[in-house]
Homo-oligomer: A and B are copies of this chain.
Amino acid sequence: MNTIIKPKIAIDGMGGDFAPQMPVKGAILAAKRGVAEIYLVGDEEILKNELNKHEVGDLAITIVPSQGIINDNESPALALRQKPKSSILVATNLVKTGAADAIISMGSSGATMAASVVILGTIEGIERPAIGGPIIGSAPNQVILDLGSNIDCKPSNLVGFGVLGSIFSQLLLDIQYPKIALLSVGSEEGKGNNLVKETTKLFHQSGLNFIGNVEGNDLLTGKADVVVCDGFVGNVILKLVEGFGRGFAKQLKETLSNHMNNQDLENLLNEFNKRNNVVDSKGGGPVFGVNGVSIIGHGSSSAETINKAVDIALMCINTKLIEKMNEETPKIMSTITN
């Protein structure tokens, strides 16, 4: 008799551009691997109908009913109040109550973020949680944060991102002593805007492995393991990088169609996508700084991507990411004066 207790993962069944199809398929893929028990959260009828399209047998998938969805175009703060039984809130509450060990959503990032902050709370010492992760194909283990949740930041926010990114890098990417850098306009100390200059002083006080500035081109070589920037800059580069990947793929296809047969071209483009589409190949990333495992994925995620997001969630759970963040962060943040 197998008495091993498997982690329990809540998946927002209604979130994402292709919900409920993709979340349901993703849940099935993960359940079939037997790595977790899945709580699929959403409209009961819709999810049942969707599950019935597949061979689910006795897979460890439990539907948890919810009412309503928060869409991308809604104000997250307002929508959370207006739709208290929406899928993202019900799913996040499962983590709060301890019924689930992690929540995964491919729905509105703003709503997932807001629900995590409101329901799970923040890690002590962290005022503003962030989103982040590896986004560049040639530097797949380089964590960049914030990627868009904090548009105007103060220096202590950026130090917080550095602390959280560093712990993530140690535990999930197995980098023992992660190099932390600020994204700036020159590598020498003193080059940068006022925010970078002020944050540099705080990083020096923090005792973290701070290596100074990196520039835009350094992101491609992974000169630092953790790159910190405000969410304005981070979001601009995230979208630029995504656009570049798509643009080059298109250009490549046009240019090469006269040079090789279709099968070769397709293989090549697949390889290209795999190398450059980090977000998709990783499945998503955690909300950095909230007191629980909350994984945000791309709205356009496929079932396979959601299946991979389950692995990210499992890694966060198994490496005790949140416990470690709770232990380390207040100590480091108390060293800086701001």
A275 sits at the interface (CB 8 A): yes
Selected interface stretch from A31-39, A51-59, A241-249, A306-314: A241-249
Residues of chain B lying within 8 A (CB to CB) of residue A337 = none
| A193–B272 touching, CB < 8 Å | no
- Number of this chain's copies in the complex: 2
Selected interface stretch from A155-163, A232-240, A316-324: A232-240
Shortest C-beta distance, A5 to chain B (Å), equals 42
Residues of chain B lying within 8 A (CB to CB) of residue A244 = 220, 241, 244
A130 to B140, CA, bound (A): 34
Residues of chain B lying within 8 A (CB to CB) of residue A183 = 236
| B219–A243 touching, CB < 8 Å | yes
| A185–B237 touching, CB < 8 Å | no
Minimal Cβ-Cβ distance residue in B for A247: B220
* Interface range, A side: 35 or more
Given A148-B185, A193-B151, A251-B275: A236 and B259 interface contact (C-beta under 8 Å):
no
A174 sits at the interface (CB 8 A): no
A3 sits at the interface (CB 8 A): no
By secondary structure, the A interface counts as helix
A120 sits at the interface (CB 8 A): no
Minimal Cβ-Cβ distance residue in B for A251: B275
A1 sits at the interface (CB 8 A): no
Given A217-B243, A252-B252, A260-B260: A232 and B193 interface contact (C-beta under 8 Å):
yes
Given A151-B185, A247-B138, A260-B259: A216 and B235 interface contact (C-beta under 8 Å):
yes
A171 sits at the interface (CB 8 A): no
**Partner pick for A240 among B231, B240, B242, B256, CB 8 A cutoff:** B240
Q: A216-B235, A216-B236 are in contact. List 9 more A-B contacts (CB 8 A).
A: A151-B185, A151-B193, A184-B232, A185-B235, A185-B236, A218-B243, A219-B240, A219-B243, A259-B268
